[in-house]
Amino acid sequence: MLSNRRINRIVNLLRQVINEAADRYDFRTPFQNIKQLKVKRTDVDPFTLEEVKLILEKVRHDFRSYYTVRFFTGMRTGEVDGLKWKYVDFEKRLILIRETIVMGEVEYTKNDSSQRDIQMSQVVYDALKAQEKITLGKSAYVFCTRNLNALDNKNVTNRVWYPILRHLDMQTRRAYQTRHTAATLWLASGENPEWIARQMGHTTTEMLFRVYSRFVPNITRQDGSAFERLLMQSGASGNKANGETAVATATVRPTPEKEQGKETHRD
């Protein structure tokens, strides 16, 4: 059964064809009053670094490299499942995102901005090098089935992903949360937001801050304290009258997203 998101993508493609024909041959398009199906937004619920380490330690050995790449590149499910060796550049340490796989069919990426070059961290480089010994020269795909075909997302989710979460007594979450996890860990580590946006395939940093910024203080434990330290170091935080130091306290207003509660995201 097709999801509403998938149906909308198919209908939108058909809509473009019919609308073009309507413009050329001057007839009323039948899509004029047809609305898209509603797509349920999924909560952004990333894993902590400690949870990531535990998952990678306990997951099936033959999928350790797969989930390492997912957690530390921010690749979408179809992008990593459809990744081919010809798009892995070890010399430049780049993963070239040029296509995706949807329901077993190789397609163009989600949009033009999704066409990107992802820089490999050392842990990703090592994971791909380990995988190179297993599938390079045997399959076009980096991660593949025993029959050397591309991975089936539903099969992997049901047979590997959900079982490891249950085994570790972790909350059930979609494997897509690995992408959100990468974004929050990059932000928490202080990486340049523009660099992160490029890694994720976003055209601007707007979505990055709107969706992920509320998770960062919980990871860095720097919700205003960094600014206080800056004031103290500059001497602007108080004076030394009568041998006592008065410390100015900065009040940080919560962002609208924080006030509204849990953010939802459709990426």
Residues 175 and 185: their CA atoms lie apart, in Å, by: 16
| Mean pLDDT (the chain, rounded) | 82
Residues 156 and 24 in one domain: no
**pLDDT for position 27:** 84
**103 contact partners, CB below 8 Å, separation of at least 6:** 6
**pLDDT for position 189:** 86
> Which residues in the chain come in under a pLDDT of 50?
239-264, 266
**pLDDT for position 15:** 84
Structurally, the chain folds into a number of domains equal to 3
Residues 209 and 196: their CA atoms lie apart, in Å, by: 11
Share of the chain above pLDDT 90, in %: 49
Residues 35 and 50 in one domain: no
Residues 92 and 168 in one domain: yes
**pLDDT for position 260:** 46
Residues 176 and 232 in one domain: no
Q: What backbone phi and psi angles, to 5 degrees, belong to 256?
A: -55, -35
Residues 191 and 258 in one domain: no
For residue range 70-83, list pLDDT tens digits in order.
999 999 999 999 99
Residues 236 and 250 in one domain: yes
Residues 175 and 156: their CA atoms lie apart, in Å, by: 10
Structure tokens at 182: 């990468």
For residue range 34-68, list pLDDT tens digits in order.
887 776 666 789 999 999 999 999 999 999 999 99
Residues 93 and 182 in one domain: yes
Q: Which domain holds residue 127?
A: 42-213
Residues 131 and 259 in one domain: no
**7 contact partners, CB below 8 Å, separation of at least 6:** 37
Assessment of whether the complete model's pTM goes beyond 0.75:
no
**pLDDT for position 237:** 52
**pLDDT for position 235:** 67
